[in-house]
Amino acid sequence: MIVTHKEETESKTSRGTKDVEEVIAKAIKKLGAKKENELCKYLPMKSGGYMHHFTFKKMKHKQPQDLAIIIGRHVLDADRPIVIAPKQRAARGSRKRRDHMNFTRIQLERMLNIARLAGDKEIITILSPKKSLSACRKELIQSIRHNRVEPELWNSYVESMQLQQQAAALDPSLAHSLN
């Protein structure tokens, strides 16, 4: 009887799968686990952390002998199996832009005052809070009543008017809601 390489590897993997199933069953019993995925937390990886359940399933079918050795070493042969700490992952939001700076309201007001003292109109317009059209109108009327000229207030009024006109051009029903 001639045995081909394919048949030989298939018989090895089927024997390996039976062996690994026995090893997994023993490990589950030893740990008191309910599922085989719970074994993953006891199996360290070279890259750090414990074995992912997808890797576990993949090794179970493609490298059953290797998986049986790993389970044997870290669960069955160990007196007290150790739960491996999870791999350190990047914090949530870590992919956000790093050049964006967040300032408190007090810090913004201080920077705005510095810009006013320096007379830098561009920075003043950037740092000035955006006001609604009605708020701009009120402040403009008050500044006129008090005989004060505030160019930045006029600029914010013009900007608010332009935004309202653009919105009205896109959707006429929004024109009244922006006042």
**Structure confidence by residue, pLDDT tens digits, 74-110:** 999 988 888 988 888 777 766 666 667 788 888 888 9
Whole-prediction pTM value?
A: 0.45
103-154 pLDDT tens trace: 888 888 898 889 889 988 888 777 877 777 888 889 889 999 999 888 878 8
Reading the block at residue 173, the tokens are 């029903």
Contact 56, 43 (CB under 8 A): yes
Q: What is the pLDDT of residue 43?
A: 92
Closest CA to 129 of 148, 147, 149, 155: 155
